[in-house]
Amino acid sequence: MPVTDNQGSFLNRISIRRNQVSNMENNHEQDQEDLELFQKHVAERFADLLPNDSSTTTDSPAKDQSPLFSISWYRKLLDVFLCCEAEFKALVLIGRDPVQFSKPPLDRLVPDILDRSIKSLDICNAVTHGLELVRHWQKLALTAVMALEQKPMGDGQVRRAKKALNTLLTSMMLDDKENNYHAKVAERTWSFGRRSGGAGNNANNKDRTNGTFRSMSWPVAKSWSASKQVQAMASTLVAPRGGESTGLALPIYIMSTIFVFVMWGLVSAIPCQERTGLLTHFPMMRNLNWGQSLISLQDKIAEEWKKKEKKGTTGLLDELQKMEKVAQNLVDFAENFQFPAEEEKVEEVAGQVAEMAEICRKMEEGLAPLQQQIREVFHRIVRSRGEVLEVLDQIGKMSTPVLY
């Protein structure tokens, strides 16, 4: 579907309408139309992420299908997040009276989504560390490919390939905490930053209001757990009750669900610190159209995670799973190699080397754009959080009594 066209027309529509009805009291009907359109776009975008064999129906035209759990698929997932987030912000913030956010249920829901945004920033940071580790693995695999592509194949090339592949497989088998330490072997410069610290609460509150983040190294603490972070995000996910489902509580719930789903999906795919016990299910509203695609995707991710977690896994990322399998086959060949190798065996190995080379090529092409999208998601969350905090700051000023 033409996501950017739909998004642009939606944002323009919201802006124009809010300008037209800013002095009208009865704009509930138009708000409901905007909310329905937002839900429709969410449903379409997540339906586009489902495999072609899915039973989920959609009015969207034929789509360029990326293999489920591949780098290109996760890039599409992040595109969906960014588009949904932009429409959500337009729907909830543009032209709104700040006083609305000080009344139930928004006075409870807004702090919840702000807390979820902070946890999402931590996950973005951890995922970026994980992607650096994946880059390290890709370089080890490429070292083996270059060694085994040399003709004729001799003992020296095979030993070099075996050493690189053993290092690769050993690193893949380390638990998440060990790998977090291992990944620090390579020097990295993060474009993310923590909130700049102040001498007191006033300084910190000012930073939060302005949404300012200082660029600096942001290491993952040894006690930090990706699975617990996702669980904490999901634990406060409560569907709107009664009349709340027709107001702003519903889009906030939808966006909160998207936050949890996307961060959960990233953690399940990319090596992150302490993923043991990662959730395989969190509640969603099954009676709404936008939830059906999300539930279908959740079921597919949960099913794959359960399979992989039992035997230990580097994550659901398709390229990593294929890399691990081919690397093990090549190590088996290297351990039994005798010069000169049988022609039939050499041809078989050449096919596996070509497969590994293709995996490395896809990683080379996809990892940098994926990292860039993670940065974009990070900074988008920072900006949006800052805008919400500015609204809350306005409410605080309005409620402060004026002394004469």
Indicate whether 401 belongs to any domain. no
Between 98 and 262, name the one with better pLDDT.
Answer: 262
Quick one: pLDDT band at residue 6, thresholds 50, 70, 90? low
Quick one: pLDDT band at residue 180, thresholds 50, 70, 90? low
Indicate whether 402 belongs to any domain. no
Report pLDDT digits (tens) over 42-93: 999 999 999 986 444 444 445 567 899 999 999 999 999 999 999 999 999 9
Structure confidence at residue 4 (pLDDT)? 55
Structure confidence at residue 31 (pLDDT)? 86
| Total domains in the fold of the chain | 1
Q: What's the distance, Cα to Cα, between the start and end of the chain in Å? A: 58
Sequence-ordered list of residues with C-beta below 8 angstroms from that of 316, at least 6 positions apart, any chain: 69, 268, 269, 301, 304, 305, 308
Is the pLDDT assigned to residue 294 strictly greater than 60?
A: yes
Asked if 172 and 137 touch (Cβ cutoff 8 Å), the reply is: yes
Indicate whether 403 belongs to any domain. no
Indicate whether 90 belongs to any domain. yes
Indicate whether 156 belongs to any domain. yes
Amino acid at 379: H
Asked if 138 and 319 touch (Cβ cutoff 8 Å), the reply is: no
* pLDDT (mean) for 151-172: 94
Widest distance between CA atoms in the chain: 96
Is the pLDDT assigned to residue 232 strictly greater than 60?
A: yes
Asked if 123 and 229 touch (Cβ cutoff 8 Å), the reply is: yes
**Tokens in use for 140?**
């080890």
Structure confidence at residue 203 (pLDDT)? 43
Structure confidence at residue 371 (pLDDT)? 97
* pLDDT (mean) for 128-140: 96
**Tokens in use for 360?**
């490395």
Between 170 and 28, name the one with better pLDDT.
Answer: 170
Structure confidence at residue 60 (pLDDT)? 46
Q: 170, exposed or middle or buried, with CB in 10 Å at 0-12, 13-18, 19+?
A: exposed
Range of the domain at 312: 3-20+27-394
Three-class SS string for the chain? CCHHHHHHHHHHHHHHHHHHCCCCCCCHHHHHHHHHHHHHHHHHHHHCCCCCCCCCCCCCCCCCCCCCCCHHHHHHHHHHHHHHHHHHHHHHHCCCCHHHHHCCCHHHHHHHHHHHHHHHHHHHHHHHHHHHHHHHHHHHHHHHHHHHCCCCCCHHHHHHHHHHHHHHHHHHHCCHHHHHHHHHHCCCCCCCCCCCCCCCHHHHHHHHHHCCCCCCCCCCCCCCCHHHHHHHHHHCCCCCCHHHHHCCHHHHHHHHHHHHHHHHHHHHHCCCCCCCCCCCCCCCCCCCHHHHHHHHHHHHHHHHHHHHHHHCCCCCCHHHHHHHHHHHHHHHHHHCCCCCCCHHHHHHHHHHHHHHHHHHHHHHHHHHHHHHHHHHHHHHHHHHHHHHHHHHHHHHHHHCCCCC
- Least confident range from 67-76, 146-155, 224-233, 253-262: namely 146-155
Is the pLDDT assigned to residue 115 strictly greater than 90?
A: yes
Indicate whether 339 belongs to any domain. yes
Q: How many CA atoms lie within 13 A of 324 on its CB side?
A: 18
- The total number of residues written for the chain in this structure: 404
* pLDDT (mean) for 10-32: 59
CA-CA-CA-CA torsion for 313, 314, 320, 326, nearest 10 degrees?
A: -60
Does pTM surpass 0.95? no
Between 402 and 315, name the one with better pLDDT.
Answer: 315
Place of tokens 């802006």: 15
Smallest CA-to-CA distance from 226 within 182, 284, 254, 265 is with 265
Structure confidence at residue 310 (pLDDT)? 61
Between 199 and 63, name the one with better pLDDT.
Answer: 63
Indicate whether 78 belongs to any domain. yes
Give the mean pLDDT of the chain: 83
Structure confidence at residue 245 (pLDDT)? 75
Is the pLDDT assigned to residue 378 strictly greater than 90?
A: yes
Structure confidence at residue 199 (pLDDT)? 39
b/e burial code for range 38-65 (CB count within 10 A of at least 16 → b): bbebbbbbbbbbbeeeeeeebeeeeeee
Report pLDDT digits (tens) over 312-354: 668 899 999 999 999 999 999 999 888 777 888 888 899 999 9
Between 136 and 198, name the one with better pLDDT.
Answer: 136
Indicate whether 82 belongs to any domain. yes
Is the pLDDT assigned to residue 283 strictly greater than 60?
A: yes
Is the pLDDT assigned to residue 177 strictly greater than 80?
A: no
Quick one: pLDDT band at residue 19, thresholds 50, 70, 90? low
- Least confident range from 117-121, 226-230, 244-248: namely 244-248
Is the pLDDT assigned to residue 116 strictly greater than 70?
A: yes
